[in-house]
């Protein structure tokens, strides 16, 4: 049974970098950052491509973000996606998960979809909310923390991870939405010929007008919030905030451990 699969991808700042708070206190400094595909979304993309390879159909990689996200979409094309779509959204931080979900849902409605996949969470905000909000907005049955997907006739059998090493198996009618758990599969590397081909493929760009929206602020937002400010956690009691370069932090941590008697002098 061939399926049209839409997989939602997010580009995040490389989590291995050291972050600094911007001067307005509402975001991190982004002028020197580099970005990568969100780790959980790698598993969602791999699951989408495997379903296509086994059952036929098409995979559309969809993202909401600025021009720089096109590099991530080309990576998805090189790994097996058939089409890439970027919703032009130039807010570099895009904190509002409810607003983002409604914009993504408006785009998904314009695409043929039997199955929508997302990663279980994003590595930057770890809300684990986008998939569930999308399912609610689109009116789709959904399952979260999915570790196994079996396509049957007009339905899916999915295994969802529970605590304590347990899992629960569901049957879900199509169309549906799933959030894919870390480790559900082994994401592939893109071969060089596919990378070169993806570099030449067009990326479809959607604007608010194409989605029937006059502007992002016109979207109805029952789930909406704004960031008032960011700051490091305040030290309380005997706590200490260790700052500085990686080397400086390592030296200070070693000194603290020695002072507390955890490490012999």
- Structure tokens belonging to residue 9: 């991808």
Q: Phi and psi for 164 in degrees, rounded to 5?
A: 75, 20
- Structure tokens belonging to residue 30: 């982004």
Q: What whole-number distance in Å separates Cα of residue 213 and Cα of residue 57?
A: 29
Domains in the chain (CATH in brackets) are: 3-218 (3.40.50.620)
What are the helix (H) ranges across the chain?
A: 39-55, 70-78, 97-108, 130-138, 192-200, 246-259
20 in Cβ contact with 39 (< 8 Å): no
pLDDT tens over the chain, length 265 residues: 799 999 999 999 887 877 788 888 877 787 778 899 999 999 999 999 999 999 999 999 999 999 999 999 999 999 999 999 999 988 755 678 888 898 999 999 999 999 999 999 998 888 889 999 999 999 999 999 999 999 998 899 999 999 888 899 999 999 999 999 999 999 999 999 999 999 999 999 998 777 876 555 544 454 455 666 777 666 566 677 787 887 888 888 888 888 877 655 5
97 in Cβ contact with 158 (< 8 Å): no
Predicted pLDDT of residue 190: 94
Q: What whole-number distance in Å separates Cα of residue 237 and Cα of residue 40?
A: 36
Predicted pLDDT of residue 218: 45
Q: What whole-number distance in Å separates Cα of residue 72 and Cα of residue 102?
A: 22
In terms of DSSP bridges, do strands 35-37 and 11-13 run parallel, antiparallel, or are they unpaired? Answer: antiparallel
Predicted pLDDT of residue 61: 98
């Amino acid at each position: 049974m061939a399926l049209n699969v839409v997989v939602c991808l997010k580009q995040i700042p490389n989590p291995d970098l050291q972050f600094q708070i911007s001067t307005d206190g509402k975001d991190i400094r982004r002028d020197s950052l580099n970005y990568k595909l969100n780790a959980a979304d790698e598993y969602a993309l791999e699951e989408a491509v495997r379903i296509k390879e086994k059952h036929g159909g098409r995979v559309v990689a969809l993202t909401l973000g600025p021009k720089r996200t096109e590099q991530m979409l080309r990576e998805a094309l090189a790994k097996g996606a058939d089409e890439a779509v970027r919703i032009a959204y130039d807010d570099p931080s895009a904190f509002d998960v409810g607003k983002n979900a409604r914009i993504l849902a408006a785009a998904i409605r314009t695409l043929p979809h039997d199955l929508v996949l997302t990663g279980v969470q994003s590595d930057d905000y770890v809300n684990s909310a986008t998939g569930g909000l999308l399912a609610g907005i689109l009116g789709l049955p959904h399952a979260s923390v999915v570790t196994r997907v079996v396509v049957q006739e007009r339905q899916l059998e999915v295994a969802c991870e529970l605590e304590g090493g347990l899992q629960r198996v569901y049957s879900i009618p199509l169309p549906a939405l799933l959030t894919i758990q870390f480790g559900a599969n082994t994401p592939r590397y893109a071969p060089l010929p596919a990378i070169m081909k993806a570099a030449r493929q067009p990326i479809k760009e959607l604007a608010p007008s194409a989605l029937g929206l006059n502007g992002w602020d016109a979207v109805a937002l029952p789930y909406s919030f704004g960031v008032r400010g960011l700051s490091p956690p305040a030290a309380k009691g005997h706590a200490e905030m260790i700052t500085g370069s990686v080397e400086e932090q390592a030296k200070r941590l070693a000194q603290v451990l020695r002072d507390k008697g955890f490490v012999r002098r």
